[in-house]
Amino acid sequence: MRKILVAGNWKLNGSLADTEKLIGGVLAGMDQVQAADVAVCPPYPYLAQAQGLLAGSAVSLGAQDVSDQVSGAFTGEVSAPMLKEFGCRYVIVGHSERRALYCEDDEFTARKFAAAQAGGLTPILCVGETLEEREQDITESVVARQLDAVIALSGVEALENAVIAYEPVWAIGTGKTATPEQAQAVHEFIRGRVAGLNAGVAEKVQILYGGSVKPDNAVELFGKPDIDGGLIGGASLKAEDFLGICTAANQ
Ligand code: PGA
């Protein structure tokens, strides 16, 4: 039985004061969270602060991006060993905003995934189609291409120590959630593709759904057989909403 994971992606939001308040609020409600593993992914400058606030708690820390490089002349980059040193367990790679706004392609994302694992982090690999791609009925081939780039570089076994997040681009920050049936269909496709290469890995890998997850749709989404939790953007910025999603896993 796979455990539910709920990870909050704060994106480019926050301040020292916000981090303290938000993490304080989440920690205060963690006694209600029975069934889910929980992680928060603040912006880089707040990782050290978050590490301190989360010390000794059940909430894990993650980062939103990682360099494909370890060290050297790569201005502006942050490496996996650096993130590890600040207590990160997870790192998001290949978020659609990175892919679309910063031109990060499948191969680059695959190198980041490999760098994350080499540095001892668990990558949360984001895949998902745009609205145009869904309308063209090529969702499965897009998601397969994104996944295959990682498998080609790191091997299918690498997914055993990774998390996949299916995030339809048209559902991110739009308030337009994929229906639980639409999401389940793609999750099933992803697991099936992994199973075609290694059934054991497919059985174990957590596949999260992301895209306008809220407390009132989380129960139904998490109830689907191949949905193992959520990657939460907007709703992760309010402790009450985020906790509402985390407790959805109790049911
Ligand atoms: P959203 O973002 O929950 O605000 O739609 C999800 C994500 O981008 O990870």
Distance CA 17, CA 9 (A): 17
What are the tens digits of pLDDT across the range 77-98?
Answer: 999 999 999 999 999 999 999 9
What are the tens digits of pLDDT across the range 18-59?
Answer: 999 999 999 999 999 999 999 999 999 999 999 999 999 999
Of 177, 243, 197, 196, give the one whose Cα is nearest residue 22.
243
Distance CA 153, CA 156 (A): 9
CATH for 4-248?
A: 3.20.20.70
Percentage with pLDDT > 90 across the chain: 97
Residue 48: per-residue pLDDT: 98
Strand-pairing partners, residue 89, are: none
Distance CA 169, CA 130 (A): 5
Query: Given the CA of residue 232, which atom of ligand 1 is nearest to it?
Result: 3
Distance CA 85, CA 173 (A): 31
Is the beta carbon of 127 within 6 A of some atom in ligand 1?
no
Residue 67's alpha-carbon distances to 70, 114, 130, 180, 240, in angstroms, are 7, 10, 25, 33, 32
Burial of 77 (0-12, 13-18, 19+ CB in 10 A): middle
What are the tens digits of pLDDT across the range 156-196?
Answer: 999 999 999 999 999 998 888 889 999 999 999 999 999 99
**For the chain, which residues make up each domain, given as ranges?**
4-248
What are the tens digits of pLDDT across the range 146-155?
Answer: 999 999 999 9
Q: Please identify which of the residues 20, 95, 135, 203 carries the catalytic annotation.
A: 95
Is the beta carbon of 123 within 6 A of some atom in ligand 1?
no
Catalytic residue flag (residue 167): yes
